[in-house]
Amino acid sequence: MKKLVVNALLCAFVIIPSNAMAESQNKTFSYNNETGQCVDRNGKLGYNPVSPAYLFSGKQVVDNSEVYEGKNAECVDFADFDFGKYVGLGYPKLLRWNMAGANFHNALFVFADIKEANLRGADLKNLEFGYATIHGTIDKYTKIPTAENSECIEKNAELRCRR
């Protein structure tokens, strides 16, 4: 009987993981503040895959605007990713996201805002953005957007861009 109860408890633990456990299972690479790179626990360089089901779930509506708050997108590879397919074009806000070390090479971000994000080490250099604002903390490894007609201001480890 004891063995049956123990097995049942183990199965319940495995079958019903918390959101934090499910998220950590998908996160292999973490941002290293000292090197400005994304590494796994063995020191291998790389990025985490995009997980739209996690990143764009749990939206809230505040003042008639969709808000996706507090997501962990650390070291996510957003290369060639179209944010509009998941958040629409109604000026949604990505609020207080951890985007440290994320790769935005040729990603498309339009009619939306990134607010109060951790952008340390993020590669925003080739991010295609328009009718959008980007705001967050940066470090010496952050690559600033270079999109034509974009206006970016760096001040006190903070970045503010609009286009």
DSSP 96-163: S-B-TT-B-TT-EEES-EEEEEE-TT-B-TT-EEES-EEEEE--TTPBPP--TT-EEEEETTEEEEE-
Would you say residue 6 lies in a domain? no
pLDDT, tens digit, 9 for 90 and up, residues 113-137: 999 999 999 999 999 999 999 999 9
Would you say residue 43 lies in a domain? yes
Would you say residue 12 lies in a domain? no
pLDDT, tens digit, 9 for 90 and up, residues 43-52: 999 999 999 9
pLDDT for residue 24: 37
Would you say residue 53 lies in a domain? yes
| Total domains present in the chain | 1
Would you say residue 55 lies in a domain? yes
Would you say residue 95 lies in a domain? yes
Would you say residue 57 lies in a domain? yes
Range of the domain at 64: 18-162
